[in-house]
Each structure stands twice: as C-alpha cells, then as structure tokens.
C-alpha cells in the first residue's frame, strides 16, 4: 500500500507542478493529497470495521474514485478555464437552431449580444474552436472584393455532425 500511494503522490505532484492546469483546477487537484488517504481510510473501515492497516484494495478503490472525481472536475471547471469552448457550444447551438445565418461574420454574432460573446475577441476564440473541429469553415475575402481591407466570413460546414 505504501508503494501505491507513494507512486501516486509522486505522479500527482509532477502534474500539479507541471503548470498545465488552470490555477483554479490546480487548487482543486491539490486537495487530492489529503483526499486519497482519507477515502482509503473510509473504504478500509467499511470493509474492516475493527481497524488495522489500510489495505491495498481500499487504497486502489480510493485512487479509482479520485480519477472519477478528477474527470468531473475537469468538465465542471472547463466552463471557467476554457471559456472559448463554452462560447463555441453556444454559437454551434445557435447555428443549428437557425438563430444565425449559415454564412456570417463576427459582427453578426456580436450584434446578438449573447452572454459571454459580447466582444469580438471572445467570438473569434469560439470560432477557432468550431473551425478546429471542422464545424465551421473560415472564408477569407480578399481586399479586391471588399473594396478595402480583407475580411473574413464563416460558414456552417454542411458535413458537420456536432461539437464533442
């Protein structure tokens, strides 16, 4: 059991210190240092009410439970840590509902004043997510056609199936 928790703790600390997480999610995962042993003890006491050393089975059960909780935490914090994904979902849902024409510009969405999509930067970030998933196609319009600067339009991909 000692080896299991030591190996998990070392991997967990590397992930925390790696800087790959949003600060809010990092703070959440930092609490797992005490959550794993606490859960292991609870699971052990359920299995062996008389006490004794915490079993490897209880520890593995705690680690499995923490993996399950981490997956949910990533999903929950995703709306805060990845706002462009939330915006992408909103634009995609509006496109499917017909609230946005199939060919549109950033300004078209900006004029709708939807929550979280008020500024052009947020809209462009959301559209980047949609184009990376091939749900929306970006169309460059050269300056010769606009009579001024080049422009960009977006078109819903007719072959698109859905945002993962």
The whole-chain average pLDDT of the chain stands at 85
Q: What is the pLDDT of residue 96?
A: 86
Q: What is the pLDDT of residue 24?
A: 83
Q: How big, in percent rounded to 5, are the helix, strand and coil portions of the chain?
A: 65, 10, 30
Range among 7-16, 34-43, 49-58, 116-125 rated most confident: 34-43
Q: What is the pLDDT of residue 89?
A: 85
Residue 44 has pLDDT above 80, yes or no: yes
Region of poorest pLDDT, from 8-12, 44-48, 57-61, 155-159 = 155-159
Residue 9 has pLDDT above 60, yes or no: yes
Measured distance CA(42)–CA(32) in Å, rounded? 15
Q: Residue 82 — pLDDT band, cuts 50, 70, 90?
A: low
Measured distance CA(147)–CA(137) in Å, rounded? 23
Q: What is the pLDDT of residue 88?
A: 86
Domains within the chain, CATH numbers bracketed = 2-81 (no CATH), 83-156 (1.10.10)
Mean pLDDT for the stretch of residues 33-39 = 94
Q: What predicted TM-score, i.e. pTM, was given to this entire model? A: 0.53
Question: Closest Cα to residue 129, out of 97, 98, 160, 100?
Answer: 160
Q: Other CB atoms closer than 10 Å to residue 1's CB: what's the count?
A: 15
Q: How many residues does this entry show for the chain?
A: 164
Q: What is the pLDDT of residue 163?
A: 54
- Convert the pLDDT of each residue in 116-125 to its tens digit: 777 888 888 8
Percent of the chain with pLDDT over 70: 93
Q: What are phi and psi of 19, to 5 degrees?
A: 75, 15
Q: What is the pLDDT of residue 145?
A: 76
Q: Which long-range contacts (CB under 8 A, 24 or more apart) does 115-118 make?
A: 116/83, 116/86, 116/87, 116/90, 117/87, 117/90, 117/91
């Amino acid at each position: 059991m000692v080896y299991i928790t030591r190996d998990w703790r070392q991997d967990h600390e590397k992930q925390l210190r790696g800087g790959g997480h949003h600060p809010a999610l990092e703070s959440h995962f930092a609490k797992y240092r005490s959550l794993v042993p606490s859960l292991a003890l609870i699971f052990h006491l359920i299995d062996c009410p008389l006490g004794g050393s915490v079993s490897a089975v209880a520890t593995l059960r705690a680690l499995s439970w923490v993996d399950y909780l981490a997956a949910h935490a990533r999903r929950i914090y995703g709306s805060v840590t990845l706002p462009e994904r939330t915006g992408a979902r909103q634009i995609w849902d509006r496109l499917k509902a017909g609230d946005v024409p199939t060919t549109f510009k950033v300004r078209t969405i900006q004029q709708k004043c939807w929550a979280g999509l008020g500024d052009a930067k947020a809209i462009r970030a959301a559209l980047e997510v949609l184009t990376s998933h091939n749900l929306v196609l970006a169309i460059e319009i050269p300056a010769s056609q606009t009579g001024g600067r080049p422009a960009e339009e977006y078109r819903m991909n007719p072959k698109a199936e859905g945002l993962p």
